[in-house]
Structure formats: C-alpha cells, structure tokens
Structure 1
C-alpha cells in the first residue's frame, strides 16, 4: 500500500514514523528506504518530512497517531538534543495511555553512529531495541512489523477520525 503524491497527507496512515535528531536526517532517510524497499514496509515517513509551518508538538502528535509504529533512532546525536528525549517520552506515554498503541514504540540502533547501550536512557533500556548490526535484524523486523497489527491500528485511526469529523459537523 503506497500513497500517491497528490493524495492529502492528512489522509495517510503510515506503517511507521522515524523520530530522529536534526543531525540524523540522512540516517533516518537511509533507514526509511531500507524498511520500505528491502522489507516492503510501506508507507513510512521520517519526522523531518512532517508538514512545515505547524507547531512541533502538533507534528509529533500527528506522527505518532498517524502511524502504527514509532521508531526512535538511537544515535550519538540522540542525547545531544533535549527534543529527542522529549519525543521518546511522549511516544512512550502515548503507548501507555492508548491500549492499541502498546508495543508500538521501537528503539533502533543503526549501523552508523549508534548510541551505546550504556548511554541509552533508562526508560528506553526497558524495550528491546532493534539492532541493525545484529544477525537477527531481518527476522526481528519481520516479527515486529506485522500486517495484521498495521490493519488493526489503521482501523482504529479511521474510526477515531470519523468520530472527530462527525463531532465537527454536529
């Protein structure tokens, strides 16, 4: 399932969003293309591609709520930006507060400039991270990104959107 460029981005429910440091846009793009092209997990988006001109918190809320999984890119740059830590905490809180978002936050240590485990914030150490250099990486990706889970999350998102739209017209 791929969205066309003329489709309203507000109507797209992504399989995943990659939250990343401002210094990691290239790495986030590389992983986006890896997941979409090698593993056929489409559509995905990186946080830098969220609509400009909107408040960062609105974009974060939309990114997390309009995707089945939230990938937190754990690089050395992650700790240098308070915004990255905020993104991860906000994503985790969302996953705790919404039952259907349980197990939807995925820390990912990329091949390039990974954040060492000992520097990873405690709250993220409690979640098994995807490790790109792990021999089991491909199996982990297939196990995590289940089509049935995506369809379930998308159905809930569509139902919530319809309810909000109906309330707006009432």
Structure 2
C-alpha cells in the first residue's frame, strides 16, 4: 500500500494509518494491539520471525527513516503460496506499507544506517510462542542482495532452525 501524499512548499503530509482505509484494502477489520519500533544499522538482518498458535500475529510494517529489504515467507500449509518468498523495498522515500497476514515468517535487512522500522501487531508478543527460520535456509534460497559477510545477526537469529526442521 502506498498512501496518497500531499506536497507543497512546506514539505509533505500523508496518513500513515487509517483503520477504514486498511479495512477497505483487506476486506476485513484488523484490531492492532501493539506497536513496535526498531532502529538498525546498515547490514542488520532481523528475522525470519513468527509467533505460533493462538499468538500468531498479523502485522502492518513500514519504514520512516532509511531503507530495508523486507522479506515474507508463507508458512500456511493450506495456502497456494505455501513456502513462497515475497521481497520488497520499504523506505522513507517510497512510504510503502506492507500488511503481513498471520502464518507468515517475516524479516528485514537494513540497507542504510539508522533505518527506523515501525510495525503494528494484532496480537501481543508472547515469548513462549516465538519461533523463526534461519535467514539463509537453503530450501528457501532467499536473495538478500547484500554481501553475506557483512550481514549482522543477533545471537538468537544465528541459531534459528531451517524450515524443514520445524514442526509447524
């Protein structure tokens, strides 16, 4: 989704969130309960993360400063896009927002220093329901478009399993 942007000599204005607009685009309502905010240096890769079971989260994500490569993997076994990978650039300049339904693994790679990434979730974070897939899973073959030796991961993300080793 790209919100209409209004520019004039002062700068620009756009609605970063409008419940009615999102409802019209999705064809249903989403009740967001938590907003998250992260700041990442260039090369930081966060993901691929998801919440399991009743704690699964739908998300609305966007970048307010910098630029990221956003990656989503469909983990819904009954979906005709199961295991498909979707990639897009989100940036402060394109102002794109991406809705990520429940049942998806999600990650992003910061392409610029101090990228600010915001996301709304429709369920609260639950530590016991957190899971993930290693970013370089050989079966998914995700092209992050970035030198692998320059990717910065958390200790937790370095230890994520391959998709084939998960029981989801």
Q: TM-score range by the shorter chain?
A: 0.3 to 0.5
Structure with the higher helix share, 1 or 2: 1
Higher RCO (C-alpha 8 Å, min separation 6): 2
Structure with the higher strand share, 1 or 2: 2
Output the TM-score relative to the length of structure 1.
0.33
